[in-house]
Structures are given as C-alpha cells and as structure tokens.
Chains A and B, each alone.
Chain A
Amino acid sequence: MTTEREILKSLKNFRKIKPDKNWVFLTKEKILGSQRRIFPLFKPLELALFTILILVGLFKASEGALPGEPLYLIKRGKEEIQTIFVPEDEKPKIFLEITQKRAKELEKVANLNETKKLSSAIKEFKEGASKAARILVKSEKIDKEGMEKAFLTLQTVKKVEKNLETKVTPPQFEKAIEEKVKLIIKDLEVRSLTEKQKEILNSAKEDLENGQIERAFEKVMLILQNG
C-alpha cells in the first residue's frame, strides 16, 4: 500500500526533469533575438577588463617600437594623449623629451641600416623637432632639465648627421636653441661666477658670434651643471 507521503516524496523527484542547457540557450537567442554578444563568452564587465588588459599590453609592447613598425602608431598615439594634459609651463620640457626620443630612434634606425624605416625616422624627428621649436619660441623661460634634453638631442642628431652625411635637424630647431643659449648667457652675465666660469662664458660668447652654436651650448651647459 502506497501512502500519500511516499507519493509526494516521489513526485518531488520529477523536478530533476530539465531540458539540456544548449537548447535552453539557443531557444532564448531565437526568441529574444539580439541577445547575441560579439564575444558570447564574456559578460560586459569581463569584456571591459579584457579590453583594458589588451590596451595595457599593447601600450607596453609599443614602447620599444621604431618608426615604420605597426606598433609605432600606438606609441605615438599614447604620446599625443599625454601631451594634451600637460600644463603650459611644462610643455617645453615635455616636447624636448619627445624630440630626444625621436633622436634616439633615429640613431637606432640609422645603425640598423633599413632604408624604409630610416625615411620614417627622419620624418618623425623633423616633425618632433619642429614642434618643439615652436613651443620653445613661445616659452619665456626654460629650466635646466629642459636644456639638458635639448643639448643631448642636438648631440645625438649631430652624430647621426655625421654618420649619414645628411643634415636632418630643422633650421627652426637650431634657431630656437640658439635663442635660448643667448638668453642663458645673458642671465649668466649678471650672476657671480668664478674666474674659470667667466672664462668659459666668454669663450661661449665667442663661439656664438662665430656661429658655433653647438660648442657655445656645450660650454653654457658646463657652467650650468657646475653652478
């Protein structure tokens, strides 16, 4: 004799009857239509995290990219974004830093001897240096750090020019540097300097008068570094 309790207990076991999961998913897709996602494996939050990870990975990988390489566009894009938020008085330093990077890339590419990359690297350097020159002309003063970057850039590019036997430095960049060197010389003239420093400063002024900007710059930097 089967009791009511036993029947009720057995009936609950029918709750195990379920349709297969694939059918459940596909039927829902069919009925609700646009439930489909581009990446069905990811939920929106996971997709956002996945995208961020990919972008971070690409940014990291692009750091060493050289002109003419696919990841170089990402590197330049990242720089463009960074410069948007730079305050006006910080701009000379940042743009000189970017020009210095372009100069180093040019040096690397010149050593690799890859023609296609070389033309891209020269173009990138010229653009970077021209932009830095425009910023330098507009800026009233420039700090020691910025001048150091400008000096190192000039040194690197002069080495490349010698190696390639071609002039790549835009004249406006040299002109902007010259103007800044003149300003620093003026500033140093009213400062109390040691006899040795005064001697170096006079020599720098002579170089400047003779059009030897790089040499004048080098001497001015020497005083600044020891000052």
Chain B
Amino acid sequence: MNKKKYFSKIYDQFVDKIYRFIFLRVNSEEIAKDLTSETFAKVWHAFQNSEIKNLKAFLYKTARNLTTDFYREKAKISHASLENLPPIADPKRNPQEKVIFEEKMEKIRKSLNNLREDYRQVIILRYIDGLSIKEISEIMERSPGAVRVLIHRALESLKRECNKKEGFSSS
C-alpha cells in the first residue's frame, strides 16, 4: 500500500477522534475544524518526508501542540464560545428525558472545561477516545505510572467539579 492510500485510511479512522479531542478543548466548531485540518496537513507532510513509528500518537501529539499554541495566541477563547455549543442529543429518549440528558451533558462539559489542561486531556483520551495507558503515555510523553496517577487525580477533580454544580442529577 502506498503512503497516500495508507494515510487516507488513517485520516478516515481518526478524523472524528482528533476533531473531538480538539473540540472539547477549544469549544468552538470552527476552531476545531481549522485545527483538525492543520493537524492532518502537518502530519501528512511529516509522514511523506520521514518515518513515523506511531502515527496515532503523533496525530494526537500534533493536535495537542496545535491546541496549546492556539491557547497561547488566543487566551480565554474556550470560555468565550462555550455558550454557543450545539447540544449532544440522544435520539432514543423521549422529549422530557432528552431535556434532562442535555442538561446533564452540558454540566459535564462545563465541569470538564473547568479542569486543568492536562486533566482535561487525559480524561478525553482515556474515557472518551478509549486510549490505553501506554498510548496516552506516548502522547503525553509521561511514564505509564505517571499517567495512571494523572487519570486518578483528573477523575477526582471532575467528580468534585460535577458535584459543585447545583441540580446535577444521575437520572
């Protein structure tokens, strides 16, 4: 398989995940699209000119670095655009349950947004994208042990944030 075909498959496999990873950090569809596009363009360029052992980790690392660079340039964008986010709808529920579900998701999203940057990253990688400890350790450039500790602390922090929010229900 040539490089272009291979990268095309990688793109199809990871575009949703990378977009989501960025979106949950920047909270803006437009910015998430721009940064996702830039991530794949950069990785494709690097992939053509050199050998990349772990393309998946390289993609996430590039996305993480680009998002960090973006934050440096545009401070507070995350909070500024939070109000305009589309709700995460669950089509299986009835209208009343749907409203409760959306409220709950919104609160989780806000709680996630209030976390420290590395906590937020590790929660997204582990519990939303379902990456292994080893994969996260490669992306975050930390030892597997350090990642385990980070996950534990991040989850505790998220729990505290969620319970801070008034009216949160587990229904």
Contact = CB atoms under 8 A, between A and B. Distances in A.
Given A3-B170, A19-B36, A32 B19 contact: no
A124 to B, nearest CB: 49
B11 A13 contact: no
Contacts of A11: 108, 123, 127-128
A7 B104 CA distance: 10
Nearest to B32: A19
A24 B18 CA distance: 12
B8 A7 contact: no
Interface in A97-146: none
Interface residues of A, number: 26
Where chain B touches its partner, the secondary structure class is helix
Contacts of B101: 13
Given A27-B37, A30-B37, A13 B20 contact: no
Contacts, number: 85
A162 interface: no
A32 B8 contact: yes
A16 B88 contact: yes
Contacts of B36: 19, 27
Given A15-B128, A32-B4, A10 B104 contact: yes
A14 B104 contact: no
Where chain A touches its partner, the secondary structure class is helix
Nearest to B40: A31
Contacts of B24: 14, 17
A30 to B, nearest CB: 7
Contacts of A226: none
Task: Enumerate the 6 nearest inter-chain pairs by beta-carbon distance, A residue then B residue, closest first.
Answer: A11-B127, A6-B170, A19-B19, A2-B162, A17-B20, A14-B128
27 contacts: A2-B170, A6-B170, A7-B155, A7-B158, A10-B104, A11-B108, A13-B88, A13-B90, A13-B105, A14-B128, A15-B128, A17-B24, A17-B88, A18-B19, A19-B32, A24-B16, A28-B8, A28-B12, A28-B15, A28-B40, A30-B41, A31-B11, A31-B37, A32-B7, A32-B8, A32-B11, A32-B44
Interface of A: 1-4, 6-8, 10-19, 23-24, 27-28, 30-32, 34-35
